């Protein structure tokens, strides 16, 4: 590949006079990097994926911010439906990373790159830049997703450029820079942590949250309330799945996006999935502390798990759990588009196609408790065969031969001295 060295080693001096496509969210990093690149003689066209960010009252304001920072053009791309659909696929795989993190930021990076690259290509841009730091996972996700979807694209990361690092050691210097140039940022020196948001969830990290003496309850929720502040009354939530996809919520037909919006609203007000603390293993090899919000994913995810309990036998369950863990790791590490992930997703499809039925749960101060299941055509559960009463076609006496066969191996292990008291 002719541009291999540029992809791996690009710096600001190589960019002067060229046009780059900046994947931006409109926050502190976006504003700082855009202005810095423009000052260095780089032509910057900003691209933002509308991911239903709950922390943005009006996503069109992002465009205004980036133009104020010197961007030649600021493009908004609607990716809400795409993100919702991938969010449902995460639920279908129960793809939670360490500590119950629903990979809400991880999957959003893949969706963002897929949405923005065609827009850059249509404008003749072949260099993508982003504001992910050199210590985190997002730099890996942006890089790998871009390389996999279009290997001819170069990726420039200011946070890995020594020239940029000389000027910006961290948030303090960036805030000072933006204030000096009167750039429209909302970050301040007093803000105690940073937040990354999309319709699937919020990621809170850095600042005060880096200290393990700061409790998860320190955050101000953006998608609901802390469990302790939720109503004192139980609220029921009902979702109908058809072949793994939510098609009805509380009796109303819905699309994947609508199901997540409604689950976010109802789950959030009941404290579901709010303030999830994790200290996780980043792909770059360091530990990081995050506090997550994902009310809709947690609520729909719990309902889907209750459905899986009805349809998976023990062999399918073992396979599913293994794939679930692997898919979660693949997303977290930036490999959503590779053949291994796609193969795993395909292997889950036969189980997903069995996941039809209606699940009702009871919500109370952050808890999601099973309430009822109905209309599950592929359920393996039978009240008759599972009953301890004198009903059904399972005869207790039939277990005599079953246990006799199992006992052969148990006795052999004892005789051979392979058991311990």
Cα-Cα-Cα-Cα torsion 278, 283, 288, 292, nearest 10 degrees, comes to -40
Q: How far apart are CA 131 and CA 387, in angstroms?
A: 58
Q: Which residues are catalytic?
A: 29, 109, 138, 194
Q: How far apart are CA 29 and CA 35, in angstroms?
A: 10
Q: What is the DSSP string of 245-285?
A: EEEEETTEE--HHHHHHHHHHHHHHTTTTEEEEEEEE-TTS
Q: How far apart are CA 221 and CA 223, in angstroms?
A: 6
360 touches 371 (CB < 8 A): yes
| β-sheet bridge partners, residue 194 | 205
Question: CA 198, 214, 270: angle at the middle one, nearest 5?
Answer: 50
Write the CB contacts of 311 (distance below 8 Å, at least 6 apart in sequence): 351, 354, 355, 376, 378, 379, 380
Q: How far is CA 11 from the centre of its chain?
A: 30
270 touches 231 (CB < 8 A): yes
| β-sheet bridge partners, residue 278 | 290
Smallest CA-to-CA distance from 95 within 399, 344, 392 is with: 344
């Amino acid at each position: 590949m002719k541009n291999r060295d540029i992809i791996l080693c690009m710096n600001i001096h190589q960019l002067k006079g060229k046009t780059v496509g900046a994947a931006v969210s409109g926050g502190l990093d976006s504003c700082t990097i855009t202005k810095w690149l423009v000052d260095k003689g780089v032509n910057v066209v900003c691209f933002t994926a509308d991911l239903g960010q709950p922390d943005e009252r009006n996503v069109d304001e992002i465009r205004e911010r980036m133009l104020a920072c010197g961007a030649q053009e600021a493009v908004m791309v609607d990716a809400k439906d795409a993100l919702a659909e991938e969010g449902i696929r995460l639920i279908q795989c129960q793809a939670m990373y360490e500590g119950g993190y629903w990979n809400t930021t991880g999957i959003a990076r893949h969706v963002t790159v897929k949405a923005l690259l065609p827009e850059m290509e249509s404008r003749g841009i072949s260099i993508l830049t982003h504001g992910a730091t050199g210590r985190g996972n997002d730099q890996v996700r942006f890089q790998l997703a871009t390389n996999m979807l279009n290997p001819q694209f170069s990726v420039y990361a200011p946070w890995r450029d020594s020239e940029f690092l000389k000027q910006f050691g961290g948030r303090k210097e960036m805030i000072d820079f933006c204030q000096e140039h009167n750039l429209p940022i909302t970050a301040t020196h007093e803000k105690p942590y940073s937040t990354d948001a999309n319709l699937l969830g919020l990621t809170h990290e850095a600042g005060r949250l880096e200290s393990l003496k700061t409790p998860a309850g320190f955050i101000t929720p953006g998608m609901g309330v802390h469990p302790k502040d939720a109503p004192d009354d139980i609220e029921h939530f009902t979702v109908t799945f058809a072949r793994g996809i939510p098609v009805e919520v509380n009796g109303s037909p819905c699309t994947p996006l609508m199901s997540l919006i409604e689950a976010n609203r109802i789950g959030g007000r009941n404290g579901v999935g709010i303030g999830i603390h994790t200290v996780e293993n980043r792909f770059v090899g360091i530990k990081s502390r995050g506090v997550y919000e994902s009310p809709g994913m947690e609520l729909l995810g719990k309902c889907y798990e209750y459905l899986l309990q009805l349809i998976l036998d023990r062999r399918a369950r073992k396979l599913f759990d293994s794939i679930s863990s692997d898919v979660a790791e693949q997303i977290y590490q930036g490999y959503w588009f590779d053949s291994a992930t796609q193969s795993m997703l395909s292997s889950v499809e036969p189980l997903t196609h069995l996941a039809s039925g209606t699940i009702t749960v009871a919500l109370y101060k952050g808890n999601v408790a099973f309430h009822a299941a109905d209309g599950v055509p592929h359920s393996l559960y039978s009240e008759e065969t599972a009953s301890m009463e004198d009903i059904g076609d399972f005869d207790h006496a039939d277990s005599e031969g079953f246990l006799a066969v199992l006992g052969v191996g148990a006795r052999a292990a004892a005789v051979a001295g392979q058991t311990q008291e």
